Amino acid sequence: MHWADVLADELLKEEKKHVLATGITPSGPIHIGNMREILTTDAVYRCLIDKGGDGELTYVADDYDPLRKVYPYLPKSYEKYVGMPISDIPCPCGKHKSYADHYLVSFLNSLKEIGVKPHVYRANEMYKNGDYNQAIQIALENTDKIKEIIQKISKRQLPKGWIPFNVRCEKCKKLTAAKAVLYDYPIIEYKCDCGYEGEVDITKGGVGKLPWRVDWPARWKMLGVTFEPFGKDLGTVGGARDTGEKIVEEIYGYPAPKYTVYEFIMLKGEGAMHSSKGTALSAGEMLAMTPPEVLRFLLMNNQPGKHLVFDSGLGLLNLVDEYDKEERVYFGKEEATKGMKDLKKTYELSQLRNYPKTIPYQLPYRHLVTLIQIGESWDEVKKILLRTKQIPKDLSKDDENHLKQRAEHARYWLDNFAPDIVKFEVKKKLPKVDLAKEQKKFLLALTGKLSSVDWEAEDIHKIIYDSSEKEKIPIKTAFKTIYQIILGQEKGPRAGYFLSNLNKDFVLERIEEAVI
RNA sequence: GGGCUUGUAGCUCAGCUAGGCAGAGCAAUCGGCUCUUAACCGAUUGGCCAGGGGUUCGAAUCCCCUCAAGCCCGCCA
């Protein structure tokens, strides 16, 4: 059984409306590791609905969290904002409503692109609307109990006078600097490090925030959360999950949600991704270089507890191939190889929305990578594909869009991540090369045969061999010569296919020019 | 110190959430066609399933112990 089905079954033991929650703090670029949380939950959600359950997928952006420090990717001037809620800090690029939105908006766009549609909550609005007021009041009434729970389970000593609420100083706007002096419902008197002394009324929204270890359980109760996964960093004994479980049950009188712990995603060669350390690829970038169904496939095909290595180099091509193979097997075009697990479910969960009824038109991705380096626009690529009969004339609109979309991803990958070995450029003019006599002889033989041949990959391929044999030139030199005069480099894509995708007259003229 | 995950062919891994013949891909070797850019096709080789114990008619699979590796926690979230 697919892991998502196992989790969904677990939830279905209780017949009620399930709230499947995810939450991420948009304090930096949101990366694919964070995306795993959402896609994992989305998978369970889909399985739940498939099985006839009732559920909702939610995403809480904790944008009321204070900025912890000036991250490496921030200007030094942000020093003055440290401690303020990230929804109250100006946007680094100036185009968004706030610092939080700067990262959140692009992540929400990525979610849309990858086919996830959660109900989005913003913590700053929930606090300011007063949604948290009751939870805050209950927390403050139970200060001693909460303190005891946290101290006992996390083995952490909390300071004297600690209360489960961080007041936001009215003067310096920081959540991290004010110390409560006295609590007398509904007023908290406080003294801030900035020198200000004041009081806030907790029945008014947005005057402060519950600390994380209390905020989380409060939110479970408030939203009726029944399932929420979390990363392995939070899964540790004595961590927020442990204290949260106790707090939600004993203070808020609500059962702790079910969960799964998910592993991190490593970037090949760079270790785990951390938004704060800058070793992260943003979800946006990852999606720009990877077709969305393929990215989903990567996560759906692996249990959440398995750590993944994302290879933004050549490994990406293999991943796409693997997906395409899965697709062929799903539609019965190919035998399953042993080891393909939960093939049907995995494929279906990889789809953005509706499952296709017939197999989408497939073009080998590696070949597409070559083609888009020959044709500058999709129209040109399409022309080549039609001319060489690599796609049928009556290709459906959906299939064309699918290919076009893949071409865009491949293009982004080539421009930003692909290793040089797969890159080339068809030079508009003959590159400067000193050809040896034997190379010219080979070209002469080649051009004579090429001019009279059908412009087919196999035939061209054969002619290259014939010519090299006839002129007694090593085949390696023959290929090298072709690449030199067309690409200005010594290696290139498989010659037969490559040339057949170029215009015949162009190739003949180029050879002629080179021989002179 | 604690937690999680992993350990299966030379490499990367599936099989573990139904206990029932040990599996794939790549590499290697041989052949086809002098074969380019992780692209061809066919065949062959390759394993004490980390080690030990237990449960069972039967264990890679379930339980316990040991060893090794990776990551996380022991600031904040």
What is the predicted pLDDT for the residue at A200?
94
Q: What is the CATH number of the domain that holds A110?
A: 3.40.50.620
Comparing CA positions, the residue from A416, A423, A382 lying closest to residue A288 is: A416
CA-to-C1' span, A253 to B30 (A):
71
Kindly determine whether the C-beta of residue A485 is less than 7 Å away from any atom of nucleic acid strand B.
no
Return the structure tokens found at A340. Answer: 């393909």
What is the predicted pLDDT for the residue at A274?
56
A424 secondary structure, DSSP code: -
Q: Does one domain contain both A462 and A511?
A: yes
Average pLDDT over residues A438-454: 82
In a domain, A174, yes or no: no
What is the predicted pLDDT for the residue at A343?
80
The parent domain of residue A445 ranges over: 437-515
d(CA A96, CA A102): 5
Q: Does one domain contain both A386 and A444?
A: no
Q: Does one domain contain both A379 and A442?
A: no
Tell whether the model's pLDDT for residue A135 goes beyond 90.
Answer: yes
In a domain, A217, yes or no: yes
CA-to-C1' span, A284 to B25 (A):
31
Q: Which chain A residues in 102-121 sit with Cβ < 7 A of strand B?
A: none
Tell whether the model's pLDDT for residue A211 goes beyond 90.
Answer: yes
Q: Does one domain contain both A117 and A219?
A: yes
Q: How far is CA A389 from CA A382, A393, A456, A501, A503, in A?
A: 10, 8, 10, 10, 14
In a domain, A467, yes or no: yes
**A66 phi, psi to nearest 5 deg:** -75, 150
Tell whether the model's pLDDT for residue A385 goes beyond 90.
Answer: no
Q: Does one domain contain both A403 and A461?
A: no
Q: Does one domain contain both A394 and A253?
A: no
Chain CA centroid to CA A142, Å: 40
Which positions ≥6 away from A282 have C-beta within 8 Å? Answer: A29, A30, A31, A106
Kindly determine whether the C-beta of residue A68 is less than 7 Å away from any atom of nucleic acid strand B.
yes
Return the structure tokens found at A489. Answer: 């480099």
Please list the helix, strand and coil fractions of chain A in percent, rounded to the nearest 5, in that order: 50, 10, 40
What is the predicted pLDDT for the residue at A183?
92
Return the structure tokens found at A113. Answer: 């692109």
What is the predicted pLDDT for the residue at A280?
61
What is the predicted pLDDT for the residue at A338?
60
Place of tokens 């929400």: A108
In a domain, A12, yes or no: yes
Which positions ≥6 away from A471 have C-beta within 8 Å? Answer: A438, A441, A442, A445
Average pLDDT over residues A203-220: 93
Domain boundary among A201, A228, A262: A262
Q: Which chain A residues in 449-468 sit with Cβ < 7 A of strand B?
A: 461, 465
Return the structure tokens found at A151. Answer: 């101290």
In a domain, A408, yes or no: yes
Return the structure tokens found at A10. Answer: 């677990």
The count of domains in chain A is 3
Q: Does one domain contain both A509 and A459?
A: yes
Q: Does one domain contain both A99 and A29?
A: yes
Tell whether the model's pLDDT for residue A497 goes beyond 70.
Answer: yes
Instruction: Flag the least confident range among A37-46, A56-65, A504-513.
Output: A504-513
Q: Does one domain contain both A417 and A484?
A: no
Q: How far is CA A477 from CA A130, A299, A453, A480, A509, in A?
A: 75, 44, 22, 5, 20
- Burial status of residue A401 (CB atoms within 10 A of its CB: 0-12, 13-18, 19 or more): exposed
Return the structure tokens found at A179. Answer: 């110390």
Q: How far is CA A56 from CA A18, A116, A131, in A?
A: 6, 12, 19
Q: Does one domain contain both A380 and A244?
A: no
Kindly determine whether the C-beta of residue A236 is less than 7 Å away from any atom of nucleic acid strand B.
yes
Percentage with pLDDT > 90 across chain A: 36
Q: Which residue is nearest to nucleotide B38 (CA to C1')?
A: A314
In a domain, A71, yes or no: yes
A184 secondary structure, DSSP code: E
d(CA A424, CA A496): 16
Kindly determine whether the C-beta of residue A215 is less than 7 Å away from any atom of nucleic acid strand B.
yes
Average pLDDT over residues A479-494: 86
E strand residue ranges, A225-347:
230-231, 261-262, 265-267, 271-272, 308-310
Q: Does one domain contain both A399 and A505?
A: no
Q: Does one domain contain both A414 and A463?
A: no
ipTM of the complex: 0.83
CA-to-C1' span, A1 to B3 (A):
27
Q: Which nucleotide has its C1' atom closest to residue A490's CA?
A: B36
Tell whether the model's pLDDT for residue A279 goes beyond 60.
Answer: no
What is the predicted pLDDT for the residue at A147?
92
Chain CA centroid to CA A334, Å: 29
Confidence of residue A170 (pLDDT cuts 50, 70, 90): very high
**A187 beta partners:** A184, A201
**A309 phi, psi to nearest 5 deg:** -115, 120
Q: Which chain A residues in 124-183 sit with Cβ < 7 A of strand B?
A: 156
Tell whether the model's pLDDT for residue A277 goes beyond 70.
Answer: no
What is the predicted pLDDT for the residue at A178?
92
Kindly determine whether the C-beta of residue A69 is less than 7 Å away from any atom of nucleic acid strand B.
no
Tell whether the model's pLDDT for residue A66 goes beyond 70.
Answer: yes
Kindly determine whether the C-beta of residue A508 is less than 7 Å away from any atom of nucleic acid strand B.
no
What is the predicted pLDDT for the residue at A218?
95
Tell whether the model's pLDDT for residue A290 goes beyond 80.
Answer: yes
Residue A184 CB: number of other CB atoms within 10 A?
8
d(CA A480, CA A424): 14
Q: Edge-to-edge strand order for the sheet containing A119-122? A: A17-24, A54-61, A119-122
d(CA A218, CA A228): 14
Mean pLDDT, rounded, of chain A: 87
Kindly determine whether the C-beta of residue A313 is less than 7 Å away from any atom of nucleic acid strand B.
yes
Confidence of residue A139 (pLDDT cuts 50, 70, 90): very high
In a domain, A494, yes or no: yes
Tell whether the model's pLDDT for residue A340 goes beyond 70.
Answer: no
Query: Helix (H, G, I), strand (E, B), or coil: what is residue A110?
Result: helix
Kindly determine whether the C-beta of residue A430 is less than 7 Å away from any atom of nucleic acid strand B.
no
Q: What is the CATH number of the domain that holds A489?
A: 1.10.10.350
d(CA A245, CA A11): 17
d(CA A456, CA A509): 18
Kindly determine whether the C-beta of residue A399 is less than 7 Å away from any atom of nucleic acid strand B.
no
Place of tokens 């609005």: A125
CA-to-C1' span, A470 to B29 (A):
32
Confidence of residue A273 (pLDDT cuts 50, 70, 90): low
In a domain, A290, yes or no: no
